[in-house]
Amino acid sequence: MKCPNCASSFSEGILCPKCGVDTYVFRKTKNASVRLYNEALYLAKSMDLSHAVALLEESLIYDKSNIPARNLLGLTYSELGRIGDALKHWIISTSIMPENNPASRYMDFLQRNGRDLEAYNDAVHMYNQALQYLKQGSDDLAIIQLKKAVDINPGFIDAYNLLTLCCIDEKNYKRAQHFIDIVLKKDIKNATAIHYANEISSKLPASSRLRSERVKKENTPKPISVKRTDSAPPIPRYKRAEKHSNVLEKRDLIAFFVGMGVTAIVLLILIFPAINDDKDKTISILRNQLEDYSGTANMTPEDVASMRSEYEQLKEENRLLRSEETKQANLELLQTAVSQLSDENYEACVVTLNEIDTLGFGDDDLAKYNSVRSTAYPKAADSYYTKGKSEFLSNNFIDAKLYLELALTCTNGENFVDDIYYYLGKIAENDKNYDKAREYFELVLADYPTSNQISNVRNSLAQLPETALEE
């Protein structure tokens, strides 16, 4: 007998004398893994993706090195819109079998389509943000995030199911049925979608109930095992925030303070400008009276002095009010920048920061501003540079130039600044702006003598015409 674990041969018993493996149990677990893989393959071809995932996860419990099962699980997750889980399994698969592994092709395809991968990541971020909104009871904001997620990733089954739940909660059953149909078209026995279909079937009009009745005739899927594979953690669940009627509940206290904040904003936006306008009119009247005053007027010098004092006082009050109004507007922008930073929207955060005037900020607000700036600018620079380099390599020089120049506005000694100057030089060379190209190349030689682009820069300089073309 040949040991399936270490390949050594032995003639007696079922225990391998070399590695000690029980060959009978070993073969049984291998065969069970293969059988489950075959069943999952049939289900996946039948578009029963949820059951296929459950069987493939069980198959990997029996044999973690079952490469076909792991690759198929990655493909199934990809169809369900869970690109991150798919990548995890393909990475594990290639680590087990580096050569001639189809998973390498799958990952190469994703890498060649980096923008799509980034978009899928954004969709997952929006889904997670929607979960947070639902925990807070903000259903409208959650629906907005989920709609954005499914627009980016139309195969995102979990997002569709969560949209269905939101629609059911709002008693929008027709819309909920629409999302259920989308899910069941892609995954014909999705347990969550079938549960929602059964829940709303009695609440739909007769014309719309037919689809739900058809769903109810389907066999209820077997419960999925609680065991999971090492790289497929369970999907996080959420608990909706409950509403309480007690006056002193934390939510009511928060609502009270939020109301105070809204009142302050209303004062800032509506009342203060009105006050300023009134003061502006008064100042204008006083100024005109002062200018029209002559020695023949009925006003005494004391009246003129009093009027001038009132004018100066109103002018100073107006200046202080406008200064406070500007400060509050800048603090609002700072809060927007903080929110954008927490959402990892670094480019928008930088744009917001550029609009902020820190004049009048206290120490805490100034520290917050500097903290946000020190985090957002390097991230935005890296993002712009990555996009610019990608567009450059795709010969899309107009967009590449835009992104690279934006990256320069955010850089602060990053290690890719020399690359930016080199790419901008090549773009200028392509536009036949040889003087500008030479300027960029010489800047790399002067300021970045150890750059990885030095040889490319020297070659490019050598190939430039001696003088710029005449216009």
Taking CA 460 as the corner, what is the angle to CA 436 and CA 464, rounded to the nearest 5 degrees?
60
Quote the CA–CA distance of 99 and 109 in Å, as a whole number: 17
- Residue 401 in any domain: the answer is yes
181 part of a folded domain: yes
Task: Give the Cβ contact number of residue 151 at 10 Å.
Answer: 13
Most confident stretch, 1-5, 46-50, 315-319, 378-382 = 378-382
* Residue-level pLDDT at 246: 42
Clarify whether residues 173 and 276 are in a common domain: no
Bridge partners, residue 9, by sequence: 2
- Please, which pLDDT band fits residue 148 given cuts at 50, 70 and 90? confident
Give the confidence band of 278 by pLDDT, cuts at 50, 70, 90. Answer: low
> Residues of 377-386 as b/e, b for ≥16 C-beta within 10 angstroms?
bbbbbbbbbe
* Highest-confidence segment of 22-26, 123-127, 326-330, 392-396: 392-396
On whether both 342 and 400 belong to a single domain, the answer is no
> Residues 151-177: pLDDT tens digits?
888 888 888 888 888 888 888 888 888
Residue of 283 and 48 predicted with greater confidence? 48
Q: Which of residues 112, 129, 151 is at a domain's end?
A: 112
On whether both 277 and 364 belong to a single domain, the answer is yes
**CA gap 69, 29 in Å, rounded:** 14
Q: Kindly report, residue by residue over 18-44, the tens digit of the pLDDT.
A: 676 666 677 778 888 888 889 889 888
Statement to judge: residues 339 and 386 lie in one domain: no
Identify the pLDDT of residue 404: 92
Exposed, middle or buried, 408 (CB in 10 Å: 0-12/13-18/19+)? middle
- Is the same domain home to 94 and 143? no
What pLDDT score was predicted for residue 266?
Answer: 47
463's tokens? 């190939």
Report the alpha-carbon distance of residue 465 to residue 459 in Å, rounded: 12
Same domain, 257 and 370: yes
Domain stops at, among 374, 407, 435: 374
Helices and strands per DSSP (H, E), number in the chain? 20, 0
Distance CA 363, CA 51 (A): 58
**What 3-state DSSP class applies to 301?**
helix
Mean pLDDT value across the chain: 76
Report the number of distinct structural domains present in the chain.
Answer: 4
More confident residue, 357 or 427: 427
In which band, very low, low, confident or very high, does the pLDDT at 222 lie, cut at 50, 70 and 90?
very low
Does the residue 404 lie in any domain?
yes
pLDDT of residue 17: 67
Q: What is the mean pLDDT of residues 181-202?
A: 83
Where does a domain end: 173, 193, 216?
A: 216
The mean pLDDT of 117-126, rounded to a whole number, is: 79
Residue 239 lies in a domain: no
Given this model, what pLDDT does residue 236 score?
A: 40
Q: Are residues 92 and 123 in the same domain?
A: no
- pLDDT of residue 58 exceeding 70, the answer is yes
Tens-place pLDDT, residues 71-118 = 898 888 888 888 888 888 888 888 888 888 888 888 888 777 767 777
pLDDT exceeds cutoff 70 at 427:
yes
The verdict on residue 63 lying in a domain is yes
How far is it, in rounded angstroms, from Cα 143 to Cα 125? 14
- 440 pLDDT band, cuts 50/70/90, is very high
**How far, rounded to the nearest angstrom, does the alpha carbon of residue 257 sit from its chain's CA centroid?**
30
**Using CA atoms, how far apart are residues 75 and 89, in angstroms rounded to an integer?**
9
Average pLDDT over residues 315-338: 73
Domain that holds residue 129: 116-216
pLDDT of residue 421: 92
Helices 83-96, 102-112: axis angle to 10 degrees equals 140
Average pLDDT in the 422-448 region?
Answer: 91
Residue 315, domain member (yes or no): yes
Do 198 and 143 share a structural domain?
Answer: yes
Q: Is the pLDDT of residue 127 over 50?
A: yes
Flag whether pLDDT at 237 surpasses 50. no
Indicate whether 382 and 362 sit together in one domain.
no
In terms of domains, do 148 and 192 share one? yes
Residue 293 lies in a domain: yes
Q: Which residues is 22 bridged to in the sheet?
A: 15
Q: Given pLDDT bands bounded at 50, 70 and 90, which one contains residue 234?
A: very low
Q: Do residues 28 and 102 share a domain?
A: yes
What's 63's domain CATH number?
1.25.40.10
Rounded CA-CA distance 279/165 in Å is: 54
Q: Looking at residue 303, what is its pLDDT?
A: 66
Whether 228 is covered by a domain: the verdict is no
So what's the pLDDT on residue 23?
Answer: 66
pLDDT at 423 over 90: yes
In the DSSP assignment, the letter for residue 379 is H
- Three-class secondary structure of residue 33 per DSSP: helix
65/82 same-domain check: yes
**Nearest Cα to 222, choosing from 55, 62, 57?**
55
